[in-house]
Homo-oligomer: A and B are copies of this chain.
Amino acid sequence: MTAAKHSDRKTPELTQAEPGLRAAPFLEAGSIGAAPVLTERQRQQLLEIATRVRVPARSVVYREQTAATWIFINTEGVLKTFKDLRSGRRWVTAFLFPKDVFGLAKNGLYVRTAQAITPATLYRIESHALIALLRRDAELQFQFLSKVTHELREAQRQTIVVGRRDAVGRVAMFIQQLECTCCDRHNARDIELPMSRSDIASYLGLSLESISRATAKLQRRGIVAFPNRHLARILDRAQFDRLSKAI
């Protein structure tokens, strides 16, 4: 229901949520459609240099323009990365779900600020150690290459979304994106929206008010219902697809 729902404090300490990477295969990688899963050996290699950390909701994992000591792999919870622009606006660049990697640097500094939206569990890996490992192990590196390639496509999709001029269409595409990202654990047409309306606005390049009006319009037209602020339920799939796909 609310953000707190995602915390799940009873999680055992070591049994689950080991590091993995979510990505599409790079250039099909020989084996067509192969699941982009790490082998047991690769997982072990990462675990050897990784530290497991739990962060509460709202905590800042790292701040932009600080030394990029670590990279992170999310295993549980949802986070966001953002950048505060000099205009005062906040630009949300990504929402991070389990198996997402984050912490890419430029000139040794983080480019964005990363903040937990829900309580989250992360694997923290020292950047230099990871780079050394990747340079030794081509297969493991290939998983990262696949991952980054996938992120590149996602970023390009995001450009299309932001480029749409109609607010309703953008929100529809956003909901669809979330549906794809988190489909495994949801039944039927219920989609969790752990982030605030304000975060969605900053992500889609719209004002908070426009998001509100767009969701209201989707609800009024009977296309999507919002049982509460953190849940969306697609009622009219045909109309929804027409909105989200007809770019």
Residues of A participating in the B interface, judged by any CB pair closer than 8 Å: 24, 26-30, 32-33, 68, 71, 85-87, 89, 91, 93, 104-108, 111, 127-128, 130-132, 134-139, 141-142, 144-145, 148-149, 151-153, 155-156, 158-160, 162-163, 205, 245-247
Docked-complex contact A27 and B68, CB < 8 angstroms: yes
- Given the known inter-chain contacts A86-B246, A142-B141, please indicate yes or no for A111 contacting B28, CB distance below 8 A: no
Docked-complex contact B152 and A104, CB < 8 angstroms: yes
Docked-complex contact A105 and B28, CB < 8 angstroms: yes
Tell me the minimal C-beta distance from A135 to chain B in angstroms.
Answer: 5
Tell me the minimal C-beta distance from A113 to chain B in angstroms.
Answer: 14
Give Cα A126–Cα B42 distance, bound, in whole angstroms.
28
Q: What are 18 of the A-B contact pairs (CB < 8 Å)?
A: A27-B68, A27-B104, A30-B131, A30-B132, A86-B245, A86-B247, A87-B246, A134-B142, A135-B138, A135-B142, A141-B141, A152-B152, A155-B156, A155-B158, A155-B159, A158-B159, A159-B205, A162-B162
For A247, give the chain B residue with the smallest CB separation: B85
A interface SS class: helix
Copies of this chain, complex-wide, total 2
Docked-complex contact A145 and B134, CB < 8 angstroms: yes
Give Cα A245–Cα B87 distance, bound, in whole angstroms.
10
Docked-complex contact B138 and A27, CB < 8 angstroms: no
Give Cα A238–Cα B133 distance, bound, in whole angstroms.
45
Docked-complex contact A28 and B145, CB < 8 angstroms: no
Docked-complex contact B127 and A28, CB < 8 angstroms: yes
Give Cα A247–Cα B106 distance, bound, in whole angstroms.
19
- Given the known inter-chain contacts A148-B152, A153-B111, please indicate yes or no for A247 contacting B87, CB distance below 8 A: yes
Give Cα A166–Cα B245 distance, bound, in whole angstroms.
26
Determine which of B27, B104, B139, B158 lies in contact with A105 in the assembled complex, contact meaning CB atoms within 8 Å.
Answer: B27
Tell me the minimal C-beta distance from A145 to chain B in angstroms.
Answer: 5
Besides the known contacts A28-B107, A91-B163, 13 further A-B residue pairs in the complex with CB atoms under 8 A apart: A26-B131, A27-B71, A27-B131, A28-B105, A28-B127, A86-B245, A86-B247, A91-B160, A93-B159, A104-B149, A144-B145, A148-B152, A155-B159
Tell me the minimal C-beta distance from A96 to chain B in angstroms.
Answer: 14
